[in-house]
């Protein structure tokens, strides 16, 4: 993997936030929020992949993470961090149409208010 493009994500107000490539390797890319002076205390997005040895019958694995550190505005110390992950396991024999259908449902699931509630309070729908 020779290069990676900037990412544009939305913040809570719906405004664009740009992430620049920070670290690139053959099977992993890490982006940091644009304008960061240091990796510490900086929002990061990471994506990685594992390609099976048997490309025809193996299972491809994709992973992603958003790391959101919260820095104390008074002391500059790290108050804590929020990490959100995903994993994709795709058998090689499945079609792009199968992947597209699963992805459509997955992105809708993550966007649901009940996922936000789970992140905020740990509450599950009943």
**Across residues 99-125, what is the average pLDDT?**
92
* CATH code of the domain occupying 7-93: 3.30.380.10
Cα(78)–Cα(90) distance, integer angstroms? 37
SS3 121: helix
Predicted confidence at residue 14, as pLDDT, reads: 94
**Across residues 9-32, what is the average pLDDT?**
95
Mean pLDDT, the chain, as a whole number?
Answer: 92
Cα(44)–Cα(36) distance, integer angstroms? 10
pLDDT, tens only, 48-92: 999 999 999 999 999 999 999 998 989 988 999 999 999 999 999
Question: Residue 2 above 70 pLDDT?
Answer: no
């Amino acid at each position: 993997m020779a290069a990676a493009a900037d990412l544009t994500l939305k913040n809570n107000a719906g405004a664009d936030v740009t992430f620049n490539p920070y670290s690139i390797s053959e099977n992993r890319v890490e982006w940091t929020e644009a304008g960061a002076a240091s990796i510490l205390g900086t929002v990061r997005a990471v994506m990685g992949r594992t390609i099976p040895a048997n490309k025809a019958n193996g299972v491809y694995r994709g992973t992603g993470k958003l790391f959101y550190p919260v820095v104390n505005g008074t002391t500059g110390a790290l108050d804590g961090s929020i990490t959100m992950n995903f994993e994709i396991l795709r058998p090689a024999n499945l079609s792009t149409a199968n992947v597209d259908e699963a992805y459509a449902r997955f992105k809708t699931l993550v966007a649901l208010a009940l996922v936000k509630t789970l992140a905020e309070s740990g509450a599950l729908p009943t």
